[in-house]
Chain A
Amino acid sequence: MTWVTKTLNSTLGRKLIMALTGLFLILFLTGHVSGNLLLFKGDGGQAFNMYAKFMTTNPAVKLLSYLTYISVIGHIIYSILLTRHNASARPVSYSTSKGGTNSSWNSRNMGILGTIILIFLVVHLQGFWAEMHWGEVPTISYDGENYKNLYLIVSEAFKQEWLVALYVAAMIFLGFHLSHGFSSAFQTLGLSHKKYSPAIEWIGRIYCVIVPATFASMPLYIYFSSL
């Protein structure tokens, strides 16, 4: 084994990959939520459709999207490796354990939260991302140029109560996942300092509420404005 593989196979190395992929996914979420704010523009989806075309055709964005796919897959694979390793470290479990007295529920259940988010992700990608890439999306013309009308797909989809409920519920789970994951990633990277850690924790607490809440407001807005 070279020093690189040895490091990445160590518990600290695996944690490093979890932290780096997690932080990249936090950056992705920030971009994703910002772009999707165009859904609120009230222009019949023109700005959103033009943005969707840019996001699927621009080469720089393509590179970022590949990094996102790698981060998602890496985050999942390493979480499985770590969870299996951690389970093997305690073959006989306690009959009574009061974890709630010394740590938060979400910090102890990141795997469960992550699995729920993964299930949501499959539904989400299948409904919009796969449709945009390979589906039969009707086109719309702005100033003589043709655009895939993703806004139509989105606004039709969110007329269904169950899908809106699923999205809102998934964002609550995402919020809990981020509420531990945000500051935890910095701790794993060793970025702990009495000058900066309070700010990191503070930003994390705001981020884990604002971003999922903004995401959740999109299907709610579309649903209620369609009534």
Chain B
Amino acid sequence: MKLTLKIWRQKNAADKGGFVTYVAEHVSKDMSFLEMLDVLNDQLTEKGEDPVHFDHDCREGICGMCSLYINGKPHGPLQTTTCQLHMRSFSDGETITIEPWRAKAFPVVKDLVVNRSAFDRIIQAGGYVSVNTGGVPDANEIPIPKTVADLAMDAAQCIGCGACVAACKNASAMLFTSAKVSQLALLPQGQVERKTRAEKMVAQMDAEGFGACTNTGACEAECPKGISITNIARMNREYFSAVVSSENM
């Protein structure tokens, strides 16, 4: 395959940045998207040019580190992570536009790398259980219905990649935050800090400068882990019931 790549290059956070066009030749359709970029970077390095910076880690679709807004969609044309996207999803001669996630709360570090520590700070605001939950309990010692445990596990599948923010027309982080609120609100261990958690995580989400939700459903459609927007409705319930009943002024 021969491809034309329109890639966003930006030296640092202060740089204005712009697109640079590269031609990638002899691309195998069995390569992953990141491997295709690896080959491009090898060629750039050999020519003495600065390679294209992009985030990646596990390359198994479980860490959430890879990003990239490919041809107008987060993680490209499939509902998966970029590392699990293969070049067979593209056709020979195609022009592929690659941009970083665009959000005020995700500033560009360099090229396609954005700083997603805003997500870490939302977790730090309340996405944890600080009470002592003891060692590994015996089976069925903590009573929790299977259906509820499943909902919590569904929410816990979020890998924090930020595709929801990237896909949202408002750069809203509600799908991420709601998954993190839900996974603990549904479980007995999460009850102690339930109200404070909802209040603090929503406040931090707002402080980071993410947008509000318009319920377009774009986040759910693009989430590589299939996190449902029913979590957003749950977060809204959690938040509204917390603010009217908690002891926090």
* List of A residues within 8 angstroms of B97 by Cβ: 95-96
Question: Per-residue CB proximity of B207-249 to A under 8 Å, as 1/0?
Answer: 0011111111110011000000110111111111001000011
Q: Which of B69, B212, B217 has a CB less than 8 Å from the CB of A15?
A: B212
Is A146 part of the contact surface with B, judged by Cβ < 8 Å?
Answer: no
* A180 to B233 alpha-carbon distance, docked (Å): 16
Separation in Å of the A96 CB from the closest CB of chain B? 4
Number of A-B contacts (CB under 8 A): 132
Separation in Å of the B211 CB from the closest CB of chain A? 3
Separation in Å of the A75 CB from the closest CB of chain B? 14
Is A7 part of the contact surface with B, judged by Cβ < 8 Å?
Answer: yes
* A110 to B73 alpha-carbon distance, docked (Å): 21
Contact in complex: B104, A88 (CB < 8 Å): yes
Separation in Å of the B100 CB from the closest CB of chain A? 9
Contact in complex: B211, A93 (CB < 8 Å): no
* List of A residues within 8 angstroms of B73 by Cβ: 98, 101-102
Separation in Å of the A13 CB from the closest CB of chain B? 8
Is A10 part of the contact surface with B, judged by Cβ < 8 Å?
Answer: yes
Residue of A nearest to B228 (CB): A192
Contact in complex: A102, B167 (CB < 8 Å): yes
- List 9 additional A-B contacts (Cβ < 8 Å) besides A82-B212, A188-B233, A188-B236: A2-B249, A7-B243, A16-B236, A101-B73, A102-B218, A183-B215, A184-B214, A190-B236, A190-B238
Q: B interface vs A, CB < 8 Å?
A: 19, 69, 71-73, 97, 99, 102-105, 167, 169-172, 174, 202-203, 205-206, 209-218, 221-222, 229-230, 232-240, 243, 248-249
Q: A interface vs B, CB < 8 Å?
A: 2-3, 7, 10-12, 14-16, 82, 85-86, 88-99, 101-104, 107-108, 110, 180, 183-184, 187-192, 194, 197
- Top 4 A-B pairs ranked by shortest CB distance? A192-B233, A190-B237, A89-B211, A98-B72
